[in-house]
C-alpha cells in the first residue's frame, strides 16, 4: 500500500496552494480497483499533477538566480576545464571566471522559460500502463519515469533553445577571452568545451532536481488539491 503514496503525494505537492489532507484515507479510497475511481481518472489526475509540477519547476528555474543562487542546480565551470579555471584564477582572472559562471546560469535560466511546454508535452503522452507502473513502483518511480521518457526529447528540442539563450546573454563574450588566454599558456592541453551541450544537459538536470526535491518534501508534508480532477482523485480525506 505504501507504494501508492508517491504519485498521490506528487500531485498534492505540485499544486501551489496548501490544505492538509488525510493521506491514509486517500490511499484507501482512491487506489485503482477500489470502486470509487477508474484507472483512467487516476492517471488523468497524475498527468495533471505532473504537468503542474513541471511548470512550477520551470518557473522556479527560470527566475533570475533560479540556477545561479540555488546550490542544488547551480551550473559550475565545466568540470573538464577545472585545471583551466584554477590556472586563470591564479593569473588574476577570478572576476572574469565568476562572470562567466554567472552567465552560464543566466543562459539556463533564460532557456528554462521555454522548457515547460516541451516537458509537459512528454508528460501528457503518458499511457495508463505507464501510470500504473508508476503507482506500483518504487519511491522515485515518477522521477525515473520522467527521466527515462523525456530526457532524449528534451535534449533534442531544448538544445536550440539553449543556443539561442547563450547568444542572448552573450556568453561567448565572457568565454572567448578566458579560453584564448588559457590556450596561450605554455604546455597546457588546449581546451574548448561544447558550451551548448554543457548548458543543455545541466539545465535539464536542474529541472529534474527540482522535481525530485519536491517529491522528497511531499513524502513528509502532503497538501493541496486545486483542480476538479485532483479533488476527485483525492476525495475529501479530512
The x, y and z cell numbers of residue 227, run together, are 483542480
pLDDT of residue 223: 60
Angle between helices 94-112 and 141-168 (to 10 degrees): 120
pLDDT of residue 44: 79
Tell me how far apart the alpha carbons of residues 164 and 74 are, in angstroms, rounded to a whole number.
20
Whether residue 74 contacts residue 202, with contact meaning beta carbons closer than 8 Å, is answered with no
pLDDT of residue 235: 47
pLDDT of residue 55: 84
pLDDT of residue 105: 95
pLDDT of residue 215: 61
What pLDDT, in 10s, does the model give residues 66-83? Answer: 999 999 999 999 988 888
What are phi and psi for residue 77, nearest 5 degrees? -55, 140
Given a cut of 50, the residues of the chain with pLDDT beneath it are 1-35, 218-222, 224, 234-238
pLDDT of residue 231: 54
**157 contact partners, CB below 8 Å, separation of at least 6:** 118
pLDDT of residue 6: 47
* Vertex 46: Cα angle to 204 and 137 (nearest 5): 80
Rounded to two decimals, the pTM is: 0.73
Amino acid at each position: 500500500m505504501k507504494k501508492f503514496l508517491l504519485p498521490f503525494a506528487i500531485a498534492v505537492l505540485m499544486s501551489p496552494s496548501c490544505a492538509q489532507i488525510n493521506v491514509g484515507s486517500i490511499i484507501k479510497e482512491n487506489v485503482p480497483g477500489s470502486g470509487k475511481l477508474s484507472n483512467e481518472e487516476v492517471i488523468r489526475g497524475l498527468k495533471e499533477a505532473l504537468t503542474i509540477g513541471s511548470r512550477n519547476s520551470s518557473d522556479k528555474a527560470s527566475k533570475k538566480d533560479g540556477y545561479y543562487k540555488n546550490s542544488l542546480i547551480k551550473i559550475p565551470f565545466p568540470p573538464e576545464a577545472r585545471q583551466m579555471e584554477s590556472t586563470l584564477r591564479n593569473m588574476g582572472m577570478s572576476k572574469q571566471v565568476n562572470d562567466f559562471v554567472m552567465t552560464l546560469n543566466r543562459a539556463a535560466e533564460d532557456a528554462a522559460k521555454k522548457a515547460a511546454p516541451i516537458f509537459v508535452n512528454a508528460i501528457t503522452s503518458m499511457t495508463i500502463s505507464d501510470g500504473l507502473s508508476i503507482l506500483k513502483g518504487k519511491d522515485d518511480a515518477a522521477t525515473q519515469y520522467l527521466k527515462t521518457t523525456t530526457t532524449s526529447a528534451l535534449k533534442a528540442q531544448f538544445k536550440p533553445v539553449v543556443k539561442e539563450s547563450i547568444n542572448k546573454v552573450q556568453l561567448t563574450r565572457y568565454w572567448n577571452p578566458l579560453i584564448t588566454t588559457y590556450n596561450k599558456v605554455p604546455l597546457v592541453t588546449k581546451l574548448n568545451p561544447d558550451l551548448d551541450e554543457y548548458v543543455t544537459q545541466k539545465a535539464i538536470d536542474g529541472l529534474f532536481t527540482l522535481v525530485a526535491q519536491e517529491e522528497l518534501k511531499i513524502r513528509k508534508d502532503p497538501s493541496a488539491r486545486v483542480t476538479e480532477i485532483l479533488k476527485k482523485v483525492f476525495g475529501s480525506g479530512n
